[in-house]
Amino acid sequence: MKDLIIIGSGPAGWTAAIYAARADLHPLVFEGDQPGGQLTTTTEVENFPGFEHGIQGPDLMTVMKKQATRFGTEIVSQRVDALARNDDGTFSVTVKGEVHQARAVILATGATAKRIGLASEQALYGKGVSACATCDGFFFKGKEIIVVGGGDSAMEEADFLTRFASKVSIVHRRDAFRASKAMQDRVLQNPKIEVIWNTEVADILGVDVGRVTGVMLKSTVDGTTREMKIDGVFAAIGHTPNSDLVKGMLELDEKGYVQTIPGTSKTMIPGLFACGDLQDAHYRQAITAAGSGCMAALDAEKYLGGI
Protein backbone atom coordinates (compact mmCIF):
# COMPACT_ATOMS: atom_id res chain seq x y z
CA MET A 1 0.00 0.00 0.00
CA LYS A 2 1.54 3.30 -1.17
CA ASP A 3 0.69 6.57 0.52
CA LEU A 4 0.27 8.40 -2.77
CA ILE A 5 -0.07 7.63 -6.46
CA ILE A 6 0.14 10.49 -8.96
CA ILE A 7 -1.34 9.89 -12.40
CA GLY A 8 0.18 12.12 -15.08
CA SER A 9 3.55 13.75 -15.69
CA GLY A 10 3.03 17.32 -16.92
CA PRO A 11 3.90 20.38 -14.81
CA ALA A 12 1.03 19.54 -12.41
CA GLY A 13 2.10 15.92 -11.88
CA TRP A 14 5.79 16.69 -11.43
CA THR A 15 5.16 19.59 -9.06
CA ALA A 16 2.85 17.40 -6.99
CA ALA A 17 5.59 14.74 -6.98
CA ILE A 18 8.31 17.20 -5.87
CA TYR A 19 6.21 18.44 -2.96
CA ALA A 20 4.96 14.99 -1.96
CA ALA A 21 8.45 13.45 -2.16
CA ARG A 22 9.90 16.22 -0.01
CA ALA A 23 7.10 15.53 2.50
CA ASP A 24 8.28 11.88 2.67
CA LEU A 25 5.15 10.50 1.02
CA HIS A 26 7.27 8.40 -1.43
CA PRO A 27 4.94 9.08 -4.36
CA LEU A 28 4.60 6.71 -7.29
CA VAL A 29 4.06 8.53 -10.61
CA PHE A 30 2.52 6.87 -13.66
CA GLU A 31 3.82 8.94 -16.56
CA GLY A 32 1.23 7.89 -19.12
CA ASP A 33 1.42 7.68 -22.91
CA GLN A 34 2.98 11.08 -23.37
CA PRO A 35 5.57 11.57 -20.60
CA GLY A 36 5.93 15.27 -19.86
CA GLY A 37 2.52 16.03 -21.35
CA GLN A 38 1.69 18.86 -23.71
CA LEU A 39 4.84 20.86 -23.01
CA THR A 40 6.81 18.19 -24.81
CA THR A 41 5.04 19.26 -28.01
CA THR A 42 5.79 22.94 -27.59
CA THR A 43 8.91 24.95 -28.34
CA GLU A 44 10.13 28.00 -26.48
CA VAL A 45 8.40 28.69 -23.15
CA GLU A 46 9.07 32.33 -22.34
CA ASN A 47 6.62 32.87 -19.51
CA PHE A 48 7.57 30.21 -16.95
CA PRO A 49 9.12 32.22 -14.10
CA GLY A 50 12.74 31.48 -13.31
CA PHE A 51 13.94 31.22 -16.90
CA GLU A 52 14.92 34.74 -17.88
CA HIS A 53 15.75 33.76 -21.45
CA GLY A 54 13.05 31.11 -21.84
CA ILE A 55 13.38 27.34 -21.91
CA GLN A 56 12.32 24.68 -24.40
CA GLY A 57 9.14 22.88 -23.25
CA PRO A 58 10.70 19.37 -23.33
CA ASP A 59 13.74 20.63 -21.37
CA LEU A 60 11.47 22.13 -18.71
CA MET A 61 9.74 18.79 -18.26
CA THR A 62 13.06 16.94 -18.08
CA VAL A 63 14.34 19.14 -15.25
CA MET A 64 11.03 18.87 -13.37
CA LYS A 65 11.23 15.08 -13.61
CA LYS A 66 14.85 15.08 -12.42
CA GLN A 67 13.87 17.32 -9.50
CA ALA A 68 11.08 14.91 -8.52
CA THR A 69 13.46 11.94 -8.81
CA ARG A 70 16.06 13.65 -6.63
CA PHE A 71 13.68 13.50 -3.66
CA GLY A 72 12.78 9.86 -4.14
CA THR A 73 9.80 9.81 -6.50
CA GLU A 74 9.22 6.40 -8.04
CA ILE A 75 8.35 6.60 -11.74
CA VAL A 76 6.61 4.09 -13.98
CA SER A 77 6.39 4.94 -17.69
CA GLN A 78 2.98 3.43 -18.22
CA ARG A 79 -0.61 4.44 -18.73
CA VAL A 80 -3.18 3.78 -16.01
CA ASP A 81 -6.06 1.66 -17.32
CA ALA A 82 -8.48 1.93 -14.39
CA LEU A 83 -9.01 3.66 -11.07
CA ALA A 84 -11.40 2.46 -8.36
CA ARG A 85 -12.19 3.37 -4.80
CA ASN A 86 -12.06 0.45 -2.38
CA ASP A 87 -14.57 -0.12 0.44
CA ASP A 88 -12.00 0.97 3.03
CA GLY A 89 -11.50 4.36 1.28
CA THR A 90 -8.19 3.44 -0.35
CA PHE A 91 -7.70 3.30 -4.13
CA SER A 92 -6.84 0.61 -6.67
CA VAL A 93 -4.91 1.75 -9.72
CA THR A 94 -4.76 -0.84 -12.51
CA VAL A 95 -1.88 -0.76 -14.97
CA LYS A 96 -1.60 -3.54 -17.58
CA GLY A 97 -3.55 -5.93 -15.36
CA GLU A 98 -1.42 -5.20 -12.30
CA VAL A 99 -3.21 -3.52 -9.37
CA HIS A 100 -1.42 -0.89 -7.25
CA GLN A 101 -2.97 0.28 -3.97
CA ALA A 102 -2.71 3.76 -2.49
CA ARG A 103 -4.25 5.69 0.36
CA ALA A 104 -4.52 8.82 -1.79
CA VAL A 105 -4.42 9.59 -5.50
CA ILE A 106 -3.64 12.80 -7.37
CA LEU A 107 -5.07 13.06 -10.88
CA ALA A 108 -2.89 15.13 -13.23
CA THR A 109 -3.79 13.65 -16.60
CA GLY A 110 -4.04 16.98 -18.43
CA ALA A 111 -5.78 17.56 -21.73
CA THR A 112 -5.37 16.46 -25.36
CA ALA A 113 -5.37 18.46 -28.59
CA LYS A 114 -8.71 18.47 -30.45
CA ARG A 115 -9.09 17.27 -34.04
CA ILE A 116 -11.08 19.11 -36.72
CA GLY A 117 -13.22 15.99 -37.14
CA LEU A 118 -12.92 15.29 -40.88
CA ALA A 119 -12.57 11.77 -42.28
CA SER A 120 -9.82 13.11 -44.57
CA GLU A 121 -7.99 14.50 -41.52
CA GLN A 122 -7.97 11.03 -39.99
CA ALA A 123 -6.88 9.40 -43.27
CA LEU A 124 -4.02 11.86 -43.80
CA TYR A 125 -2.81 12.05 -40.20
CA GLY A 126 0.99 11.83 -40.31
CA LYS A 127 0.85 12.30 -44.10
CA GLY A 128 0.70 16.08 -44.04
CA VAL A 129 -1.85 16.51 -41.22
CA SER A 130 -0.47 17.16 -37.74
CA ALA A 131 -1.36 18.67 -34.38
CA CYS A 132 2.25 19.21 -33.33
CA ALA A 133 4.46 21.76 -35.05
CA THR A 134 7.44 20.86 -32.88
CA CYS A 135 7.19 17.21 -33.84
CA ASP A 136 6.52 17.62 -37.55
CA GLY A 137 7.52 21.15 -38.62
CA PHE A 138 10.90 19.93 -39.84
CA PHE A 139 9.21 17.86 -42.56
CA PHE A 140 7.76 20.99 -44.17
CA LYS A 141 10.95 22.74 -45.28
CA GLY A 142 10.15 25.10 -48.15
CA LYS A 143 6.48 23.99 -48.22
CA GLU A 144 3.21 25.88 -47.90
CA ILE A 145 0.99 25.00 -44.97
CA ILE A 146 -2.07 26.14 -43.07
CA VAL A 147 -2.66 26.36 -39.34
CA VAL A 148 -6.29 26.12 -38.19
CA GLY A 149 -7.40 28.10 -35.12
CA GLY A 150 -7.30 31.55 -33.58
CA GLY A 151 -5.98 30.99 -30.05
CA ASP A 152 -2.48 31.23 -28.56
CA SER A 153 -1.64 27.72 -29.76
CA ALA A 154 -2.43 28.62 -33.38
CA MET A 155 -0.28 31.76 -33.12
CA GLU A 156 2.60 29.84 -31.56
CA GLU A 157 2.44 27.02 -34.11
CA ALA A 158 2.19 29.40 -37.08
CA ASP A 159 5.12 31.46 -35.87
CA PHE A 160 7.25 28.39 -35.22
CA LEU A 161 6.38 26.83 -38.58
CA THR A 162 7.73 29.83 -40.50
CA ARG A 163 11.19 28.52 -39.57
CA PHE A 164 10.60 25.74 -42.06
CA ALA A 165 7.70 26.59 -44.36
CA SER A 166 7.91 29.08 -47.22
CA LYS A 167 4.43 30.34 -46.33
CA VAL A 168 1.97 29.77 -43.47
CA SER A 169 -1.70 30.67 -43.72
CA ILE A 170 -3.77 30.83 -40.54
CA VAL A 171 -7.35 29.77 -41.24
CA HIS A 172 -9.72 31.13 -38.61
CA ARG A 173 -13.49 30.76 -38.48
CA ARG A 174 -14.15 34.28 -37.16
CA ASP A 175 -12.91 37.82 -37.92
CA ALA A 176 -10.92 38.20 -34.68
CA PHE A 177 -8.37 36.07 -32.85
CA ARG A 178 -8.89 34.74 -29.36
CA ALA A 179 -5.12 34.78 -28.75
CA SER A 180 -3.35 37.24 -26.43
CA LYS A 181 -2.31 40.54 -27.98
CA ALA A 182 1.42 39.80 -27.74
CA MET A 183 1.04 36.52 -29.64
CA GLN A 184 -1.26 38.10 -32.25
CA ASP A 185 1.21 40.92 -32.85
CA ARG A 186 4.05 38.52 -33.42
CA VAL A 187 2.04 36.66 -36.04
CA LEU A 188 0.62 39.71 -37.77
CA GLN A 189 4.11 41.17 -38.10
CA ASN A 190 5.58 37.98 -39.55
CA PRO A 191 5.90 38.49 -43.34
CA LYS A 192 5.65 34.74 -43.99
CA ILE A 193 2.20 34.53 -42.36
CA GLU A 194 -1.12 35.31 -44.02
CA VAL A 195 -4.46 35.20 -42.21
CA ILE A 196 -7.57 33.84 -43.89
CA TRP A 197 -10.46 35.16 -41.78
CA ASN A 198 -14.04 33.86 -41.53
CA THR A 199 -13.13 30.53 -43.03
CA GLU A 200 -13.16 26.88 -42.03
CA VAL A 201 -11.61 23.77 -43.50
CA ALA A 202 -14.42 21.76 -45.10
CA ASP A 203 -12.16 19.01 -46.41
CA ILE A 204 -8.52 18.02 -46.75
CA LEU A 205 -7.54 16.89 -50.23
CA GLY A 206 -5.09 14.19 -51.23
CA VAL A 207 -6.53 11.02 -49.66
CA ASP A 208 -6.34 9.36 -53.10
CA VAL A 209 -2.57 9.96 -53.37
CA GLY A 210 -1.80 9.39 -49.67
CA ARG A 211 -0.52 12.90 -48.87
CA VAL A 212 -2.02 16.35 -48.36
CA THR A 213 -2.27 18.23 -51.66
CA GLY A 214 -4.75 20.94 -50.70
CA VAL A 215 -7.78 21.94 -48.69
CA MET A 216 -11.35 22.86 -49.47
CA LEU A 217 -12.03 26.13 -47.65
CA LYS A 218 -15.53 27.29 -46.80
CA SER A 219 -16.54 30.84 -45.93
CA THR A 220 -18.36 31.07 -42.59
CA VAL A 221 -20.03 34.26 -43.89
CA ASP A 222 -21.66 33.17 -47.15
CA GLY A 223 -20.88 29.44 -47.36
CA THR A 224 -18.87 29.73 -50.60
CA THR A 225 -16.11 27.21 -51.09
CA ARG A 226 -12.74 27.32 -52.80
CA GLU A 227 -9.81 25.00 -53.21
CA MET A 228 -6.36 25.93 -51.95
CA LYS A 229 -3.18 24.08 -52.89
CA ILE A 230 -1.25 23.25 -49.72
CA ASP A 231 1.28 20.69 -48.43
CA GLY A 232 0.34 20.49 -44.78
CA VAL A 233 -2.42 21.15 -42.24
CA PHE A 234 -1.76 21.83 -38.56
CA ALA A 235 -4.81 21.92 -36.28
CA ALA A 236 -4.49 24.11 -33.16
CA ILE A 237 -8.11 24.30 -32.08
CA GLY A 238 -8.08 23.65 -28.37
CA HIS A 239 -8.12 20.68 -26.07
CA THR A 240 -10.23 17.99 -24.43
CA PRO A 241 -9.57 17.09 -20.78
CA ASN A 242 -8.29 13.54 -20.22
CA SER A 243 -10.96 12.58 -17.71
CA ASP A 244 -12.04 9.15 -19.03
CA LEU A 245 -10.47 7.44 -16.01
CA VAL A 246 -12.94 9.09 -13.62
CA LYS A 247 -16.07 9.25 -15.80
CA GLY A 248 -18.99 8.07 -13.68
CA MET A 249 -16.85 8.32 -10.55
CA LEU A 250 -16.47 12.11 -10.32
CA GLU A 251 -18.54 15.09 -11.30
CA LEU A 252 -17.41 16.52 -14.66
CA ASP A 253 -18.53 19.78 -16.28
CA GLU A 254 -20.16 19.87 -19.72
CA LYS A 255 -16.76 19.83 -21.45
CA GLY A 256 -15.50 16.93 -19.33
CA TYR A 257 -13.32 18.88 -16.89
CA VAL A 258 -13.08 17.46 -13.35
CA GLN A 259 -14.78 19.65 -10.77
CA THR A 260 -12.85 20.44 -7.61
CA ILE A 261 -14.01 22.15 -4.43
CA PRO A 262 -13.24 25.84 -5.15
CA GLY A 263 -9.93 27.02 -3.75
CA THR A 264 -8.69 23.45 -3.27
CA SER A 265 -7.62 20.42 -5.31
CA LYS A 266 -10.18 18.22 -3.52
CA THR A 267 -12.72 16.28 -5.51
CA MET A 268 -15.97 15.04 -3.97
CA ILE A 269 -14.21 11.77 -3.08
CA PRO A 270 -12.00 11.99 0.04
CA GLY A 271 -8.39 11.15 -0.79
CA LEU A 272 -8.81 11.84 -4.52
CA PHE A 273 -7.32 15.12 -5.74
CA ALA A 274 -7.16 16.77 -9.17
CA CYS A 275 -4.79 19.37 -10.56
CA GLY A 276 -3.54 20.87 -13.82
CA ASP A 277 -5.41 21.13 -17.12
CA LEU A 278 -7.68 18.23 -16.18
CA GLN A 279 -9.59 20.60 -13.88
CA ASP A 280 -8.77 23.96 -15.44
CA ALA A 281 -10.72 25.02 -18.52
CA HIS A 282 -9.75 28.63 -18.05
CA TYR A 283 -6.07 29.41 -17.35
CA ARG A 284 -4.39 26.26 -18.73
CA GLN A 285 -0.87 27.56 -18.31
CA ALA A 286 2.19 25.54 -17.31
CA ILE A 287 2.66 27.74 -14.27
CA THR A 288 -0.97 27.48 -13.12
CA ALA A 289 -0.82 23.72 -13.63
CA ALA A 290 2.36 23.59 -11.54
CA GLY A 291 0.73 25.74 -8.84
CA SER A 292 -2.29 23.48 -8.68
CA GLY A 293 0.03 20.45 -8.50
CA CYS A 294 1.56 21.99 -5.40
CA MET A 295 -1.93 22.50 -3.93
CA ALA A 296 -2.80 18.85 -4.61
CA ALA A 297 0.34 17.59 -2.85
CA LEU A 298 -0.32 19.80 0.19
CA ASP A 299 -3.99 18.73 0.30
CA ALA A 300 -2.97 15.07 0.00
CA GLU A 301 -0.36 15.48 2.74
CA LYS A 302 -2.96 16.92 5.10
CA TYR A 303 -5.44 14.19 4.20
CA LEU A 304 -2.88 11.42 4.81
CA GLY A 305 -1.84 13.03 8.08
CA GLY A 306 -5.48 13.05 9.19
CA ILE A 307 -5.45 16.84 9.62
For residue 280, the tally of other CB atoms under 10 A from its CB is 21
Q: Does 152 participate in binding ligand NAP (rule CB under 6 A)?
A: yes
136: annotated active-site residue:
yes
CB of 46 to ligand NAP, least distance (A): 7
11 lies in the site for ligand NAP, by CB under 6 A: no
Residues 278-297 that bind ligand NAP (CB under 6 A): 284
Q: Kindly determine how many residues on this chain lie close enough to bind ligand NAP according to the rule CB under 6 A.
A: 19
Shortest distance (Å) from residue 152 CB to ligand NAP: 4
Q: Which of residues 107-126 bind ligand NAP (CB under 6 A)?
A: 116
Nearer to ligand NAP, 239 or 266 (CB): 239
Nearer to ligand NAP, 20 or 217 (CB): 217
In this chain, which stretch among 19-27, 94-102, 173-181, 184-192 interacts with ligand NAP, using CB under 6 A?
Answer: 173-181
Strands 129-130 and 232-235: parallel
SS (H, E, C) the chain: CEEEEEECCCHHHHHHHHHHHHCCCCCEEECCCCCCHHHHHCCEECCCCCCCCCEEHHHHHHHHHHHHHHCCCEEECCCCCEEEECCCCCEEEEECCEEEEEEEEEECCCEEECCCCCHHHHHCECCCEECCHHHHHHHHCCCEEEEECCCHHHHHHHHHHCCCCCEEEEECCCCCCCCCHHHHHHHHCCCCEEEECCEEEEEEECHHHCCCCEEEEEECCCCCEEEEECCEEEECCCEEECCHHHECCECECCCCCECCCCCCCECCCCCEEECHHHHCCCCCCHHHHHHHHHHHHHHHHHHHCCC
148 lies in the site for ligand NAP, by CB under 6 A: yes
Q: Quick check: 54 binds ligand NAP (CB under 6 A)?
A: no
C-beta of residue 177 within 8 angstroms of C-beta of residue 197: no
Residue nearer to ligand NAP on the CB measure, 27 or 150: 150
Residue 256 binding ligand NAP, by CB under 6 A: no
Clarify whether 135 is annotated catalytic: yes
| Contacting range for ligand NAP; rule: CB under 6 A; set: 48-56, 81-89, 149-157, 290-298 | 149-157
Would you say 144 or 200 has its CB closer to ligand NAP?
200
Residue 150 within binding range of ligand NAP, rule CB under 6 A: yes
Name residues contacting ligand NAP, limited to 153-172 (CB under 6 A).
Answer: 153-154, 156
Residues 179-238 that bind ligand NAP (CB under 6 A): 200, 236-238
Catalytically active residues, by annotation: 132, 135-136
Enumerate binding residues for ligand NAP (CB under 6 A).
47, 116, 148-154, 156, 173-174, 178, 200, 236-239, 284
